[in-house]
Amino acid sequence: MKAHEIQSSRSGIDAVTLVERPTPALGPGRVLVRMRALSLNYRDLPIVHGVYGVQPKVPISDGAGEIVAVGKGVTRWQVGDRVMGNFLPDFVAGPMTTAKARAALGGSAEGVAAELVAFGEEAVVAVPTHLSWEEASTLPIAAVTAWNALFVHGGLRPGETLLTLGTGGVSIFALQLAKRIGARVALTSHSDEKLARARALGADLGINYRETPDWDEAVRAHTQGEGADLVLDLGGARTLATSIRAARTGGRVAMVGVVTGPEATVSIPTIMGKGLRLHGISVGSRESFEAMNRAFEQLELRPVIDRVFAFDALREALAYLESGAHFGKVVVTV
Amino acid sequence: MKAHEIQSSRSGIDAVTLVERPTPALGPGRVLVRMRALSLNYRDLPIVHGVYGVQPKVPISDGAGEIVAVGKGVTRWQVGDRVMGNFLPDFVAGPMTTAKARAALGGSAEGVAAELVAFGEEAVVAVPTHLSWEEASTLPIAAVTAWNALFVHGGLRPGETLLTLGTGGVSIFALQLAKRIGARVALTSHSDEKLARARALGADLGINYRETPDWDEAVRAHTQGEGADLVLDLGGARTLATSIRAARTGGRVAMVGVVTGPEATVSIPTIMGKGLRLHGISVGSRESFEAMNRAFEQLELRPVIDRVFAFDALREALAYLESGAHFGKVVVTV
Amino acid sequence: MKAHEIQSSRSGIDAVTLVERPTPALGPGRVLVRMRALSLNYRDLPIVHGVYGVQPKVPISDGAGEIVAVGKGVTRWQVGDRVMGNFLPDFVAGPMTTAKARAALGGSAEGVAAELVAFGEEAVVAVPTHLSWEEASTLPIAAVTAWNALFVHGGLRPGETLLTLGTGGVSIFALQLAKRIGARVALTSHSDEKLARARALGADLGINYRETPDWDEAVRAHTQGEGADLVLDLGGARTLATSIRAARTGGRVAMVGVVTGPEATVSIPTIMGKGLRLHGISVGSRESFEAMNRAFEQLELRPVIDRVFAFDALREALAYLESGAHFGKVVVTV
Amino acid sequence: MKAHEIQSSRSGIDAVTLVERPTPALGPGRVLVRMRALSLNYRDLPIVHGVYGVQPKVPISDGAGEIVAVGKGVTRWQVGDRVMGNFLPDFVAGPMTTAKARAALGGSAEGVAAELVAFGEEAVVAVPTHLSWEEASTLPIAAVTAWNALFVHGGLRPGETLLTLGTGGVSIFALQLAKRIGARVALTSHSDEKLARARALGADLGINYRETPDWDEAVRAHTQGEGADLVLDLGGARTLATSIRAARTGGRVAMVGVVTGPEATVSIPTIMGKGLRLHGISVGSRESFEAMNRAFEQLELRPVIDRVFAFDALREALAYLESGAHFGKVVVTV
């Protein structure tokens, strides 16, 4: 079968190389999935660039496909079922623990950029019936992260105000979900054109952070001086301090990304004075994923896909993601 | 000013008598409200019937009006503000306590069926800007109860299934709120015509409980055998046991009414085996009310009003409520 | 190996018969445990009496023993490890679901009254190091139920008041745990001698419910008229209504037993008026069990064992439990 | 009456000047308290140093005293009652909001370093009966902060591990409370003598952070590599990053102090990877204070007082606090 490998002999995105690999073995309790679509996340970029040192051979964590064989003892699935991999294969339920977070697809464990991938039967979830392969491939990290940030840890309720940063996958899923439950949504971008698209998806306030570097003030002005009930900080280094200022007293800040760098300096008196709760979000459990799927089905929610690349154009897809030109998800068909 | 009084010389709804009363005194920290509309709740019926023994002179708990005078030291309001009374005037924030639950409008405290009513300034909340007087009058008990049952105690999330009983005020508010956040809703009624109206408001499953006395089975059949995530039991005596059977393992049951009687027999092994959580809902705090109002404004949600009566037709309005013919709220203009 | 079987040819406790059975097969992912001690729960009685119809061959859910063999692929255990079975073998983490609650040891699944028992490796937990076999055998249902009632669902805090009913295993564990965190504890019994023993374990208030049938009033009198913050109702039919009256406004009632019968009649206005939360407790997850074990180790808490019977005296042990004469747990050595 | 004032004509601690002031007026709904003891917090130092610019005339937030007069309409208190001021006088119940956090004693509102102080009747709480004036004076900030960090936001349970930094008031209260509920406690200090005293109070692990600058590793080594379940970070600038590394996956970090500075640089991937929850703690509501008092009474817990100064030696007391030589609380009698 064909698969992409990260080959250390080359550097950067060029390290990603299409190769022929043997069909994965199908042990007891495992299912073999014919991958049909992948989707990319920011996290895939440093991995491909070798930042974490020990790389998986096969990159990319998120994808959807069809079960073509089931191993001995498998009870949850049968051939023909449409499934997505769970980003942390051992994180089934309950709060996160060290053990549950150890394996991560396309990171500490092998990825899914291959024609055939074997998963443990507890590590895949059913695709919502209304979604295409391309749409389904976008859920495992981006949608589950948005879901956990909003509903599992953030407790977002109708009538509250969400601030989310940028127009990447997580941010657009958060915008869609928040609008569907009757929250107000403020969103930042450097591009007026992207802000216009966000408004078309329901955003109540679009802030161009280049024109308005003090975007926390814009959020407070939009909320009678109070600030946002929940902030999704996807920027990290250069945004977290402003995100904290943008939150209201008693508000919550979900830390879900490091697009502008991994280290941030924060004001502790601000966090204490507002009694803020900050939560590091690391995707979520399979039970969260399944609960989210029920919501997607009920809401008939469809992921926003920016562009679809062919399987042998994975490098181009990664370069496009790196350019930051996208709005929503970047997808690769298999 | 004109007001309704419960006069013990007569019995039943006829005890409600329109009289002339002195304008209420306006102490420090209090506001005087010119009532514009009232709405009725089941709870008003036993009070009018004298079931609780010591009655308030003035019945009815829910209403909306305009502030016409403010007492010394008042900082939260000014003349002209549109407000609703908070059902438990001393329940401002935090969990309910004995002290906070002591006073209840139109019960242990005087009611609002009068042209002018004085409230403590902490005991009224602002009317959502998009609502009429009639619409606003319906919120204090019915909408706040539904809000607390769904979001404060019930934790309802998109994709979950709500079962609610009947087509009274609380049930219809619950239906509207649940549909707006992407939950599935099952609803029971004895009337196919009311079920049709509920479906027009978005109900996914309408069950005629006369034709389908085992309505818990209908709910399970609708949910792949699992049962509802959250059940609003409004019936009490003759429905609670079935409501418990209709809930899924790990589900929640909100106890919000006693339309069919106050004492219910329940199966403890069922509650234990399913790990159910049952919650007695007694309206909620002023902070809950205010949070709900923000949701109503953001969702542009409008109460469903069945019928509007004139102030001097309060008896007829009560009799109409008692007949059970209504769908949504019964309102009285002042 | 020797094992006890429920043989339908006899009735009542006499149905329990000591027989010779083949050594259990050790499949992949499973461990073989040489049982060293069992403990009894009320739940074992109706099962032995055949109330649930389809019985397991081997009764009794709770026990502790030593791993003597590990199956293929087992990673969590090695030979010599001291373990206890988890009552619901498939309930590892997160909230309870239908699937997780399906199998129950000594009920819908085979029990542990045998010299050798095979468990899935995810279905056993390590014995706290300071506990003997007899002590460890008492934890799986009684201690985990008390832990979940107090800390997972009940949120008991220092300074609060717990009311618990009777002197069975769950109640005594609850008494011990609650006292160790600085809660006040009220406890009921029909026996002054048992009340004296409970007071020796720290109970602040002992109520003889035969002398004081309105024991809810005694609890309120002990708490400045407020009532208990948390009530553990173990009685069911004849106690639940009084337990509800004994809880304070905003309090919680854990439903953990049906010693006096399975159907109870409750006052819904009381539950609503107090805003009570009632929770059906069905033991708990393996993660709860493990968290509790850390607490037992840190607190150096030791179970209260009433009496220890020999393996071939299981019938006598069951009869003794049925007599209600015990204080704490009834244990059987293997 | 005598009172201390911050006089801007002098700088530093010398700005604190003992003066004669008029007896406070006693408006409706207010109580007049004859102060008997004050206690100092780190927060008092920057205020005395004028860091926040606009200062209160009278410094110091925490104290206890006796009610000597009650204003019109007061229902909660009578002359002779022993009370403590609530640090945020308007924060009675529920989650913190901007409005509730606006007034803070000895900061945005006048302080209590005076012989007589007038409080709103909702802004004082009863002294636990077993405590002296000096002991009671230590509760309002330090004990309530520890309580909220551990139980309201931190959810500390028996068997968990708490890490707390230093031997100031909050840290020692946290140590005492955590040990009483069966948690393990690790504590840092620069002084072996203070670590010995902490161990005498029950600390399981004392770390000299000068000898062991990587104290997060010491905590992980003490917890089978997992890290602490809850960390109280009191240091701020120079400790927060290490506190985050010391927390286990799924753990919590309470941000409760800025002893080493207000700005900290943190690693977002660490917070995300561990799914950490960070909570800014700003003391708490009056209901939290009252709940804590019930715990103090039940546990017969006594504050650790380092040293008691006379009223006219407030400057010396502040200088002593600033030196960092203390272990527990620094108190001033009135």
For the stretch C163-210, pLDDT in tens is 999 999 999 999 999 999 999 999 999 999 999 999 999 999 999 999
Question: What is the model's pLDDT at position A54?
Answer: 60
Task: Give me the percent of chain A exceeding a pLDDT of 70.
Answer: 99
Q: What is the pLDDT of residues B187-245, one digit of tens each?
A: 999 999 999 999 999 999 999 999 999 999 999 999 999 999 999 999 999 999 999 99
Nearest one of B215, B271, B232, B281 to B248, comparing CA atoms: B271
* Closest residue to D159, CB basis, from C157, C184, C294: C294
**Which residues lie across from C82 on neighbouring strands?**
C66
User: Would you say D116 and D30 are in contact if contact means Cβ atoms under 8 Å apart?
Assistant: no
Residue C205 tokens read as: 């208030």
Whether the per-residue pLDDT at D128 is higher than 80: the answer is yes
The whole-angstrom distance between C261's CA and the closest CA on chain B is 9
In chain C, residues with a C-beta closer than 8 Å to the C-beta of B228 are none
Task: Give me the percent of chain A exceeding a pLDDT of 90.
Answer: 93
Q: Which helix (H) or strand (E) holds D192?
A: helix D192-200
Q: Which helix (H) or strand (E) holds A306?
A: strand A305-309
* Closest residue to C93, CB basis, from A28, A73, A94: A94
Chain position carrying tokens 């083949």: C22
Q: Residue C176 — φ and ψ, nearest 5°?
A: -60, -50
* Closest residue to D92, CB basis, from B28, B73, B93: B93
Q: What is the pLDDT of residues D186-225, one digit of tens each?
A: 999 999 999 999 999 999 999 999 999 999 999 999 999 9
In chain B, residues with a C-beta closer than 8 Å to the C-beta of C263 are 265-268
User: Would you say D177 and D251 are in contact if contact means Cβ atoms under 8 Å apart?
Assistant: no
- What is the SS3 assignment for D80? coil
- Where would I find the H helices in D49-191? 133-137, 144-147, 169-180
Whether the per-residue pLDDT at B264 is higher than 90: the answer is yes
Task: Give the number of other CB atoms < 10 A from CB of residue D185.
Answer: 25
**Which residues lie across from B20 on neighbouring strands?**
B2
User: Would you say B186 and B162 are in contact if contact means Cβ atoms under 8 Å apart?
Assistant: yes
Task: Give the number of other CB atoms < 10 A from CB of residue B222.
Answer: 18
Q: Enumerate neighbours of D (3 or more CB pairs within 8 A).
A: A, B, C
Q: What does the alpha-carbon distance between residue D10 and residue D4 come to, in Å, rounded to a whole number?
A: 14
For C153, nearest residue in chain B (alpha carbons): B277
In chain A, residues with a C-beta closer than 8 Å to the C-beta of B249 are none
pLDDT tens, position by position, for chain C (334 residues)? 999 999 887 888 999 999 999 999 998 899 999 999 999 999 999 999 887 666 678 999 999 999 999 999 899 999 999 999 999 999 999 999 999 999 999 999 999 999 999 999 999 999 999 999 999 999 999 999 999 999 999 999 999 999 999 999 999 999 999 999 999 999 999 999 999 999 999 999 999 999 999 999 999 999 999 999 999 999 999 999 999 999 999 999 999 999 999 999 999 999 999 999 999 998 999 999 999 999 999 999 999 999 999 999 999 999 999 999 999 999 999 9
Task: Give me the percent of chain D exceeding a pLDDT of 70.
Answer: 99
User: Would you say C67 and C74 are in contact if contact means Cβ atoms under 8 Å apart?
Assistant: no
Q: What does the alpha-carbon distance between residue A209 and residue A215 come to, in Å, rounded to a whole number?
A: 6
Question: What is the model's pLDDT at position A50?
Answer: 82
Substitution target from D260, D266, D270, D274 for chain A, most A beta carbons within 10 A = D266
Maximum alpha-carbon separation in chain D? 61
Q: What is the pLDDT of residues B116-163, one digit of tens each?
A: 999 999 999 999 999 999 999 999 999 999 999 999 999 999 999 999
User: Would you say D282 and D101 are in contact if contact means Cβ atoms under 8 Å apart?
Assistant: yes
User: Does A298 contact B159 at a Cβ distance shorter than 8 Å?
Assistant: yes
Residues in contact with A274: Cβ distance below 8 Å, sequence separation at least 6, in sequence order? A244, A247, A248, A249, A250, A251, D96, D101, D280, D282
For A72, nearest residue in chain C (alpha carbons): C28
The whole-angstrom distance between B270's CA and the closest CA on chain C is 8
For B99, nearest residue in chain D (alpha carbons): D76
The terminus-to-terminus CA distance of chain D in angstroms comes to 11
User: Does A271 contact D255 at a Cβ distance shorter than 8 Å?
Assistant: yes
**Which residues lie across from C331 on neighbouring strands?**
C39, C308
Q: What does the alpha-carbon distance between residue C163 and residue C151 come to, in Å, rounded to a whole number?
A: 14
Kindly report the pTM of this predicted structure: 0.96
In chain A, residues with a C-beta closer than 8 Å to the C-beta of D248 are 98
Maximum alpha-carbon separation in chain A? 61
Q: Give chain C as a 3 state SS string.
A: CEEEEECCCCCHHHHEEEEECCCCCCCCCEEEEEEEEEECCCCHHHHHCCCCCCCCCCCCCEEEEEEEEECCCCCCCCCCCEEEECCCCCCCCCCCCCCCCCCCCCCCCCCCCECEEEEEHHHEEECCCCCCHHHHHCHHHHHHHHHHHHHHCCCCCCCCEEEEECCCHHHHHHHHHHHHCCCEEEEEECCHHHHHHHHHCCCCEEEECCCCCCHHHHHHHHCCCCCEEEEEECCCCCCHHHHHHHEEEEEEEEECCCCCCCEEEEEHHHHHHCCCEEEECCCCCHHHHHHHHHHHHHHCCCCCEEEEECHHHHHHHHHHHHHCCCCCEEEEEC
Q: Residue C172 — φ and ψ, nearest 5°?
A: -70, -40
Length of chain A: 334
Nearest one of D215, D205, D206 to D235, comparing CA atoms: D215
Task: Give the number of other CB atoms < 10 A from CB of residue C210.
Answer: 12
User: Does A97 contact D250 at a Cβ distance shorter than 8 Å?
Assistant: yes
Q: Which helix (H) or strand (E) holds B91?
A: none
Q: What does the alpha-carbon distance between residue B65 and residue B62 come to, in Å, rounded to a whole number?
A: 10
* Closest residue to D93, CB basis, from B28, B73, B92: B92
Question: What is the model's pLDDT at position B54?
Answer: 60
User: Would you say D170 and D232 are in contact if contact means Cβ atoms under 8 Å apart?
Assistant: yes
Q: Residue B42 — φ and ψ, nearest 5°?
A: -50, -40
The whole-angstrom distance between D187's CA and the closest CA on chain A is 21
Q: Which helix (H) or strand (E) holds D150?
A: none
For C229, nearest residue in chain D (alpha carbons): D291
Q: What does the alpha-carbon distance between residue D160 and residue D183 come to, in Å, rounded to a whole number?
A: 5
Task: Give the number of other CB atoms < 10 A from CB of residue B5.
Answer: 19
Question: What is the model's pLDDT at position B53?
Answer: 67
In chain D, residues with a C-beta closer than 8 Å to the C-beta of B285 are 94
For D28, nearest residue in chain B (alpha carbons): B28
Q: What is the pLDDT of residues A162-186, one digit of tens each?
A: 999 999 999 999 999 999 999 999 9
Q: What does the alpha-carbon distance between residue A111 and residue A87 come to, in Å, rounded to a whole number?
A: 10
Substitution target from B74, B75, B287 for chain D, most D beta carbons within 10 A = B287
* Closest residue to D182, CB basis, from C183, C293, C295: C295
Measured CB to CB, residues of chain C less than 8 Å from chain A are 28, 73, 92-95, 285, 287
Q: What is the pLDDT of residues A102-149, one digit of tens each?
A: 999 999 999 999 999 999 999 999 999 999 999 999 999 999 999 999
The whole-angstrom distance between B109's CA and the closest CA on chain D is 18
Task: Give the number of other CB atoms < 10 A from CB of residue D222.
Answer: 18
Q: Which helix (H) or strand (E) holds D166?
A: none
- What is the SS3 assignment for D225? coil
Q: What is the pLDDT of residues D302-312, one digit of tens each?
A: 999 999 999 99
In the predicted model, what is the mean pLDDT of residues A290-303? 97
* Closest residue to B298, CB basis, from A183, A291, A297: A183
Model-level ipTM above the cut of 0.90: yes
The pairing of strands D116-120 and D62-70 is unpaired
Question: What is the model's pLDDT at position D54?
Answer: 60
| Amino acid at the residue A189 | S
Question: What is the model's pLDDT at position C11?
Answer: 80
**DSSP type of residue B141:** I
Whether the per-residue pLDDT at A53 is higher than 70: the answer is no
Task: Give the number of other CB atoms < 10 A from CB of residue A195.
Answer: 19
The whole-angstrom distance between B219's CA and the closest CA on chain D is 36
Question: What is the model's pLDDT at position C23?
Answer: 95
Whether the per-residue pLDDT at D53 is higher than 70: the answer is no
**DSSP type of residue D182:** T
Q: What does the alpha-carbon distance between residue C125 and residue C119 come to, in Å, rounded to a whole number?
A: 11
